[in-house]
Every structure is written in C-alpha cells, then in structure tokens.
A and B are shown apart, each in its own frame.
Chain A
Amino acid sequence: MSKSNGNRPARIGFYVCHCGHNISGTVDVAAVARYAQALPHVVVSREYKYMCSDPGQERIAQDIREHALNRIVVASCSPLLHEHTFRTAVEKGGLNPFFFQMVNIRENVSWVNESPEEATEKAMDLARAAVHRVAFHKALEPKRVPILPDVLVVGGGIAGIHAALTLANAGRKVVLVEREPTIGGHMAMFDKTFPTLDCAACILTPKMSQVKNHPNITLWTYSEVSKVEGYVGNYTITVRRKPRYISEKLCVGCMECIEACIYKEGKFPDEFNAGLSRRKPIYIPFPQATPQVVVIDPQTCIEFKTGKCKKSCLEKCDRDAIDFSQKEVVEEIRVGTVILATGYKTFDAGRLPHYGYGKYDNVYTSLEVERLVNASGPTGGELILRDGRRPKTVGIIHCVGSRDRNTNRWCSRTCCMYSLKLAHLLKEHTDAEVYNFYIDIRAAGKSYEEFYDKLLEENVHFIRGRVAEVTDWTARPSEEGKLVIRVEDTMIGVVRRIPVDMVVLAVGMEPQFDAQEVRRLFNISCSTEGFFLERHPKLAPVDTFTDGVFIAGACQGPKDIPDSVAQAGAAASQALVLIDSGSIELEPNTAYLVEEDCSGCKSCLTICPYHAISHDEARKKASINEALCKGCGTCTATCPSGAIRQNLFEDEEIYSEIRGLLTPMPAEAQGGESC
C-alpha cells in the first residue's frame, strides 16, 4: 500500500460501533477491532457502544491529537445518518474532514445477516477495504454557492397562497404561477369547511386578494412552468403565460363583455361548478376570482373556431381590454428556491361503474355536492337534483377510490370528515334521512371526533359496510323510482337494501394528472402512488431530494386544509432558512476535468443527467459546472480518454478499496471462529 498524504506514512485510526445491540447483537465487534488493529498502518483500533455520542466523537478527536493520526475509519451505521457527524469530529481533531471513510456494518451487515460468524467476517472484509482506501483520500474543500433571494411558488391553491404570503410577508420576492385563470384551487369550490363549518370562501378570498395586492408577489395565472435550469440557489425558470385574450392591465372585471356574448345562455360545462352549470366562451370563473379578469376560451369561442363572429364582446368593452390577437408570452425568472404546491385531483368516479356515476343522474361526486349546496353554486344553494327533485333520502358512500387495491390503496384522509360535513349540510338543507356508508371513521384531527359525535347525535345514519352497488333495480314497490344501495350492515350483521333519492360518492384524492411531468421538470421523485416524495417522511417532510425544491399541500399526499396550510408554512420557512444563510455548501464529491487529457469529443455532454457539462467552444474542451454536478459518476465512466475524474471516487481510491476487499484475510485474525 502506498501512502498519499504528502510524504508522511498513513497513520489510521479505526473505530467500530456497537450501536447499542443493533450491531453488536450480530457482529462480534471486539473481534473486528482486534482484527483492524493488525491491519497495515492502523495505529489505533477501538470499539465503543455509541460512536455518534459526544464521548465517541471526542475519542476520535483526541486520538488524532495524541497519536498523530492522519486517516480515520468508522464502522457503524449508514453514511446517510452520521457521515457528517464523524467528518465534523475528524475536523475537530485538526484533520481535513475528507480524510475519513465510513463503513456501514449495520444496514449492510448486522441487520441483514443472521449468522454471527458470517456477519463478523463481512464486517472485517469491509473494514479492510476501507482501511486500504482511506490512505488515498485527499484533502478537499467544499464549495459554497450563493442563494438567490427570490422564490418561485407553483400552484395557487391554499397551500401555494399561504406559502407565497408567508414569504412575501418576510420580505422576499415571490412569483406565484397558477395554471388556471384564477387562484383559489379546490378550496374555492368548497362550501363550508369541517369541523368549524365556517364558509370556505369567507376565509379564503381575503387571502386571495392579499396575494393580488401584495407588493412582493408577482401573480401569474393561466401560466405554466415549462423549463427549469440551474441548481439550488440559482434556478432559471421559464414560464409560459397563455393568452387569455383579455389585457390583465385593462380589464376591471365588469363582465359586460360576458353579457354581450352572442351566446345568450351558457353552453359549455362550467369547470368551477364541477360541470353542474354552463358557461359562455367568455367568462370569469367565479365572482371572487383573482385576478378579477375575464378569460376567453379559444376552444369554444366562435371567433377562434370560425373567424366569423360579430364580436359583440369587443364592441361592448369600453376599455378596449379584449385582444383576439394576444399571443403566448414566455417569461424567464431567476430564483434561489422553489415551492411546489400543485395540489391533487379527485378520483374519477366513473372508474367504479357499480356505483352508477354518469349512469344515474342522481349520483354525484362529493365535489359536485360542494357546489350544489353552495349559495353561489348552480342552484343558488337549493338542493335540487339533476331530475328536478329534492332528495328525501341521501346515501353518502365513503372511500370511493380509496383503500381499495383495485383503485388506490391509500386512505385519502379527508373524505370521512368532508362526508360528515356534507351529511350535516344536506340534513340542514333538506331535512333528509342521511346515510353514511363507511369502512372506518377516521376523524383524527383537532375537534374532528367531536364533530363526528355531533353528527351521530343529529341522527345521521352510520352504516359500517362498503357498498356493493347502487342500482335502479327495485325489489319492492317502496323502492320504485329510487336508487337502491346494497350493503352489509356489519354492525348488526344483516344485508340491507336502502332506497335513496341521491347518492354522494366521497371520491378520494389522487396525484395531479401531470405530477410525473412536474416531477421530471424539477428533478424530484414521486412515491409509488405518484405523490411527490419528501426527503424524509418524518424529519424532512417538506424537503425533496433536490436541494432548494420544497413541497407543500396535497401534491405530497392527501391532506386537509389545516395540514396543507401548516405544510405550506413549513415549506416557506425552509426556503427562508436557505435564503437567509446566503450561501450553501456543496458536497465536494463532484466530477472535475483534467483539461490536458480532454479531446473535446463531447460524449460526456449528452449523458450528464443534470446538464452540468457544457462545451467550451473557444477551447474545444468540456466544462463542468460543479454546482450542478451531483456526483453520479456517469461522465467519469463514459469519458474515453479518462479526462474526467471525481473527488472521493478517484481511480486509486476505488482500486485500493477493491484490492483491500480481495486481499485474503490472515487466518490468525479471524478470532478462530470460522475458516
């Protein structure tokens, strides 16, 4: 083994951790320590109950000073957990923190090996490899990059609104990008909110207008992010602003143009009313839409379809705000951090044909019912069904598209509570008999159980059982003209047929339809169900695996309003932590170019997944942006002339590690347990 620490020979300190019983329960740590002591260049070899504890770390620092150690190896848990801890300890002892190698003998050994002999032997092998490798480690200096103070928030639902306002109130400049013509998201569609029953619009619209009027917020609705470049602290974002054919600057939202449209009545499904009413091609989503600006839908506008409309809208507008020639505008902004709050979509109830959605008029989704009971909804808050009747009996079916391996396995978390809320509202509006069909009632939030209790006392029926079918097949005269719900009342233990006038399907929450595209755009991950993946489910719930990109609200998983708002606040404050630190330290495990060896073949350019390599035309050489490099090693392996190398993964480091691994174990060091 050669020594690479200048001319001084390597003096290695080796430490093996018990991790309580996590490691020592399987691995004979004393034997590993004895074994390492005998390895070349190892000056000190110790075992300790918890290396990560203060005394453990202090031991390393002290040994470096007392024994003039210049390399350290710790065999313990995963580097993900404590690499940083031990590097700091090494630095405290007066060494460059990268003169350190960590061996994972917990996740890779003790937790996955049942035989103590085999586990101990494997721990020794790994220790030997690390001891060989660490001698070649070089001193490295981590790079710092500055953080731009501006923030991009994607999505203008309650989470995005709250995150944007929090940052803006902290004095940061925020660009809020929303795909729809207005912000507000799903919450703007809701009637009342559980468990307090305060009206959703009453608590949401003030926040919407704050967004509109905040000097620190730039609000771009009807816009989408199309390109993301850069890295933490230095993102360049391209936003496509779709033409709404109305000048946002000029329009005051008087809506006279809508009045003047040649369509006398609405003809196209109104998205905001969940399709329960009809709008014109020129419309404003709802009275408190923000911005209060009209939009023309080119898909349905006669002028766009035929070019032969008399354009009465144009005549009517005395501010000349209507502009049929408006084009898409592409904007580019520079931000340091990004908060994704792109929300969710509701489960498509048509996927479960046995519940009759789309087949029977009086089967509704919960979102439709939110609009139906709302005073500004399609019926002005009167509960009139599609067939003109008022319901005397209503069945609310829980878990539609949730907790079902045939659709979605997860619990959508909000449906129990909104079903209870709708049950209350429906009873209040109609005095109907209301049945809830549930699998479990999940009312775990603050004051939620109390709300459930209240509903029970309101004599709402709670039938524990998953509905098998909703049908118009009647078995008795009393069922004529009704929809019959067939269910086992599992509490009583009998199958029941319950005829109702109205069925409400409590549809679950799913990832946005374009969650995968957004994931790729921002280079983050999704969990198996398709929601954005947080860095750690408990300890880093709003971080992602991409530094500087945070997630908030239901894009991360089903969530109700209080949780979305809390998460949005957390995401905003995590962004502030980065911004206020001014700069960020990058892991130095990046690729670098040995320029004289580079032939300028460009083969590395296309394979870099992070677009970190560009071609310097002047010098005909590759150029690596270390801030963008994630240290994946692809270019290093690809480069035909070996001009790209990587810190912490230098050839000699890897080769010596392999050599160490393949060096046969001296028999006397095995503790005599096996051979």
Chain B
Amino acid sequence: MIFRHTDLTRTTKTVPRLIKFEEELDLGFGEEIAAKAYGQKLLSCIQCGTCSATCPLSHYMDFTPRRVIAMVREGFRDEALSTTTIWLCASCYSCTTQCPRNIHITDVMYTLKREAILRGRYPKRYPIPVLARNFFQGVFRTGRNSEARLIIKLYLQTNPLDALRQAVVGMKLFLMGRMSLRQDRIRKIDQLQALLNAVDSGNGKKGGAGK
C-alpha cells in the first residue's frame, strides 16, 4: 500500500485525530527559513511538484519535498522538522536546478537539517544526523576526514548489527589498501580551529565542535 494507514487492529478504541489549529503554527517560519536558505524565493513556491518528481529519493520520504515546502511556507514548523525528507536529501541538487521558481531547495533542506539538530528534533539513533555530527567533530580535531573511522563509529552508534553486514566489504578494502585506520592530520590544526571558533564567536557562541 502506498499510503500510511492506521493500524486498525491496534486502534479499535481510539482513532487518530488530524486537524491543525492556527495557534499551533509558527507563521514566521517560512520567512525565517527563506532568509536562512538564501532564498526569499521559497515563498514563491507554486506547488508544482517538480522537486518531488525529479528527486531520486522522494519515494522513500514520508513527505515529498513539495509538501515540506508547503509546510514550511504555512508555518508547520514541527511537522516539517520531523520529516524523514530532510534527512534523506542526498544533495543531488536536481530539484534546485529544475525548480521553475528558482528556489534553492537543497539549501532549504540543509537549513531544515540544521534547525532540526538545533532543536533536537531527530531520532537519536537515526544514522544520518549521527554521521554528520561525527564527521563534523572528526574534522574539527584533525582537519581531515578518515572514512574508515567515520563509518565504524557510525555503525557502532546506530546499528552494530549492520556493521557485520558491511564487514566483508570493509575487510576487502583494508586488504587492498583502500581503507586505513590511519588518521591524517593537517599541520596547522590550530589555525583551522581558530577559524572555526571565530565563526562561533562571530555568532556569539562559545567555541568547540559545534555541540
């Protein structure tokens, strides 16, 4: 079945209630995200659905990108930030390139990801934000990304069982020399950290690995 149906076997006594009261909305959310995503254009969405149709991942999303844009525009903040959509965006920029209103949809998705992390609105063991955070912290410490360490950490934190499934490929890569646990470091890591910390102080936050 295409649609998410209520499990009738479990809800014989209660039926879910779906109605939205205007007071529950954040009416400024659309403009806020538009400003953060370099696109006042977000508001000019005509709901044509090109983004959803061109998106290679829209059929795995709980809400298509079009609906997410509608939610953002109408101030459905919590709903928009709780979609799997924003995490499944692989940044392929198809939507951005095809949008008839030049909305930077990929940037909108990035912005929503950041908002969701900021507001802690994502499943704790959901691998995508976990990967992003590990990546973020790793680069802050060394200036380079170690693919091997990143992936191992990810599986341990999100789905240790899955790590076994991947182990074969991993071993093969190690044996070929295409993967290594070696952690490259840049020489002037101090400079890099000073740079990143300066961003925080520019934003009036204290430095660190972007907690």
For A118, list chain B residues within 8 Å (CB): none
Given the known interface contacts A463-B74, A491-B70, the answer about A499 and B43 at a Cβ–Cβ threshold of 8 Å is no
For A453, list chain B residues within 8 Å (CB): 44, 101
Interface residues of A in 444-490 (CB under 8 A from B): 452-453, 456-459, 461, 463-464, 475-476, 478-479, 489
A492 within 8 A of B: yes
The contact sample of 10 A-B pairs, CB cut-off 8 A, is A452-B46, A453-B44, A453-B101, A456-B46, A457-B41, A479-B21, A492-B76, A496-B19, A496-B20, A498-B22
For B46, list chain A residues within 8 Å (CB): 441, 452, 456
B37 within 8 A of A: no
What is the distance, in angstroms, from A457's C-beta to the closest C-beta of chain B? Answer: 5
What is the distance, in angstroms, from A394's C-beta to the closest C-beta of chain B? Answer: 13
Given the known interface contacts A453-B44, A456-B46, A461-B74, the answer about A494 and B18 at a Cβ–Cβ threshold of 8 Å is yes
Supply 16 further A-B pairs (C-beta < 8 A) apart from A478-B21, A478-B22, A479-B21: A433-B27, A453-B44, A453-B101, A456-B46, A457-B40, A457-B41, A475-B21, A478-B23, A489-B20, A489-B70, A492-B79, A493-B67, A494-B18, A496-B22, A497-B22, A499-B22
For B19, list chain A residues within 8 Å (CB): 494-497
For A491, list chain B residues within 8 Å (CB): 47, 66-67, 70
B107 within 8 A of A: no
Question: Are A459 and B70 interface neighbours, CB within 8 A?
Answer: no
A contact set with B: CB distance below 8 Å: 433, 441, 452-453, 456-459, 461, 463-464, 475-476, 478-479, 489, 491-499
Bound form: Cα–Cα A476–B20 in Å: 12
Given the known interface contacts A489-B74, A492-B67, the answer about A459 and B18 at a Cβ–Cβ threshold of 8 Å is no
Which 10 A-B pairs rank lowest in CB-CB distance, beginning with the nearest?
A478-B23, A456-B44, A491-B70, A496-B20, A492-B70, A495-B19, A498-B22, A491-B47, A494-B20, A457-B44
What is the distance, in angstroms, from A488's C-beta to the closest C-beta of chain B? Answer: 10
Given the known interface contacts A495-B20, A496-B20, the answer about A456 and B43 at a Cβ–Cβ threshold of 8 Å is yes
Q: Which residue of A lies closest to B41 (CB)?
A: A457
Interface residues of B in 4-56 (CB under 8 A from A): 18-23, 27, 30-31, 40-41, 43-47
For A492, list chain B residues within 8 Å (CB): 67, 70-71, 74, 76, 79
Bound form: Cα–Cα A491–B23 in Å: 19
Q: Which residue of A lies closest to B17 (CB)?
A: A495
Bound form: Cα–Cα A476–B23 in Å: 9
For A493, list chain B residues within 8 Å (CB): 67
Q: Which of A456, A498, A499 has the most CB of B within 10 A?
A: A456
For B45, list chain A residues within 8 Å (CB): 456
Question: Are A459 and B23 interface neighbours, CB within 8 A?
Answer: no
Q: Which residue of B lies closest to A455 (CB)?
A: B44
Question: Are A497 and B20 interface neighbours, CB within 8 A?
Answer: yes
Question: Are B44 and A497 interface neighbours, CB within 8 A?
Answer: no
Given the known interface contacts A453-B101, A492-B71, the answer about A459 and B66 at a Cβ–Cβ threshold of 8 Å is no
What is the distance, in angstroms, from B101's C-beta to the closest C-beta of chain A? Answer: 7
Bound form: Cα–Cα A495–B45 in Å: 20
Question: Are B31 and A459 interface neighbours, CB within 8 A?
Answer: yes
Q: Which of B43, B67, B101 has the most CB of A within 10 A?
A: B43
For B76, list chain A residues within 8 Å (CB): 492
Question: Are A497 and B21 interface neighbours, CB within 8 A?
Answer: yes
Bound form: Cα–Cα A491–B51 in Å: 14
What is the distance, in angstroms, from B11's C-beta to the closest C-beta of chain A? Answer: 19
Question: Are A476 and B66 interface neighbours, CB within 8 A?
Answer: no
Interface residues of B in 146-162 (CB under 8 A from A): none
Q: Which residue of B lies closest to A454 (CB)?
A: B44
For B18, list chain A residues within 8 Å (CB): 494-495
Q: Which residue of A lies closest to B101 (CB)?
A: A453
For A461, list chain B residues within 8 Å (CB): 73-74
Bound form: Cα–Cα A494–B27 in Å: 16
Q: Which residue of A lies closest to B66 (CB)?
A: A491
For A498, list chain B residues within 8 Å (CB): 22
Given the known interface contacts A453-B101, A493-B67, the answer about A459 and B43 at a Cβ–Cβ threshold of 8 Å is yes
For B74, list chain A residues within 8 Å (CB): 461, 463, 489, 492
Q: Which of B22, B40, B43, B70 has the most CB of A within 10 A?
A: B22
What is the distance, in angstroms, from A459's C-beta to the closest C-beta of chain B? Answer: 5
For A457, list chain B residues within 8 Å (CB): 40-41, 43-44
Q: Which of A452, A463, A495, A496 has the most CB of B within 10 A?
A: A496
What is the distance, in angstroms, from B15's C-beta to the closest C-beta of chain A? Answer: 14
Q: Which of A453, A459, A461, A489 has the most CB of B within 10 A?
A: A459
Q: Which residue of A lies closest to B80 (CB)?
A: A492
What is the distance, in angstroms, from B63's C-beta to the closest C-beta of chain A? Answer: 8
What is the distance, in angstroms, from B75's C-beta to the closest C-beta of chain A? Answer: 9
Bound form: Cα–Cα A497–B19 in Å: 8
Bound form: Cα–Cα A497–B43 in Å: 22
Bound form: Cα–Cα A441–B48 in Å: 12
What is the distance, in angstroms, from A453's C-beta to the closest C-beta of chain B? Answer: 5
Given the known interface contacts A459-B31, A491-B67, A492-B76, the answer about A464 and B47 at a Cβ–Cβ threshold of 8 Å is yes
For A464, list chain B residues within 8 Å (CB): 47
Bound form: Cα–Cα A563–B34 in Å: 37
For A496, list chain B residues within 8 Å (CB): 19-22
What is the distance, in angstroms, from A75's C-beta to the closest C-beta of chain B? Answer: 50
What is the distance, in angstroms, from A643's C-beta to the closest C-beta of chain B? Answer: 70
What is the distance, in angstroms, from A450's C-beta to the closest C-beta of chain B? Answer: 11
Bound form: Cα–Cα A459–B42 in Å: 10
What is the distance, in angstroms, from B163's C-beta to the closest C-beta of chain A? Answer: 38
What is the distance, in angstroms, from A456's C-beta to the closest C-beta of chain B? Answer: 4
Question: Are A459 and B21 interface neighbours, CB within 8 A?
Answer: no
Bound form: Cα–Cα A463–B22 in Å: 13
Q: Which residue of A lies closest to B18 (CB)?
A: A494
Bound form: Cα–Cα A296–B165 in Å: 93
Q: Which residue of B lies closest to A441 (CB)?
A: B46
For A452, list chain B residues within 8 Å (CB): 46
Q: Which residue of A lies closest to B70 (CB)?
A: A491
Question: Are A476 and B70 interface neighbours, CB within 8 A?
Answer: no
Bound form: Cα–Cα A19–B101 in Å: 46
Bound form: Cα–Cα A564–B41 in Å: 34
Bound form: Cα–Cα A491–B74 in Å: 10
What is the distance, in angstroms, from B207's C-beta to the closest C-beta of chain A? Answer: 36
Bound form: Cα–Cα A476–B22 in Å: 10
Interface residues of B in 65-86 (CB under 8 A from A): 66-67, 70-71, 73-74, 76, 79
Question: Are A459 and B30 interface neighbours, CB within 8 A?
Answer: yes
Q: Which residue of B lies closest to A500 (CB)?
A: B22
What is the distance, in angstroms, from B99's C-beta to the closest C-beta of chain A? Answer: 13
Q: Which of B30, B46, B79 has the most CB of A within 10 A?
A: B46
Q: Which residue of B lies closest to A497 (CB)?
A: B21
Question: Are A476 and B21 interface neighbours, CB within 8 A?
Answer: yes
Bound form: Cα–Cα A491–B66 in Å: 8
Q: Which of A457, A464, A476, A495 has the most CB of B within 10 A?
A: A457
Q: Which residue of A lies closest to B25 (CB)?
A: A496
What is the distance, in angstroms, from A448's C-beta to the closest C-beta of chain B? Answer: 13
Bound form: Cα–Cα A461–B29 in Å: 13
For B31, list chain A residues within 8 Å (CB): 459
What is the distance, in angstroms, from B66's C-beta to the closest C-beta of chain A? Answer: 7
For A497, list chain B residues within 8 Å (CB): 19-22
Q: Which residue of A lies closest to B67 (CB)?
A: A492
For B70, list chain A residues within 8 Å (CB): 489, 491-492
What is the distance, in angstroms, from A446's C-beta to the closest C-beta of chain B? Answer: 18
What is the distance, in angstroms, from B162's C-beta to the closest C-beta of chain A? Answer: 33
Bound form: Cα–Cα A453–B46 in Å: 8
Bound form: Cα–Cα A491–B19 in Å: 14
For B44, list chain A residues within 8 Å (CB): 453, 456-457
Q: Which residue of A lies closest to B27 (CB)?
A: A433
For B66, list chain A residues within 8 Å (CB): 491
For B101, list chain A residues within 8 Å (CB): 453
Bound form: Cα–Cα A495–B46 in Å: 20
Bound form: Cα–Cα A164–B153 in Å: 83
Bound form: Cα–Cα A459–B74 in Å: 10
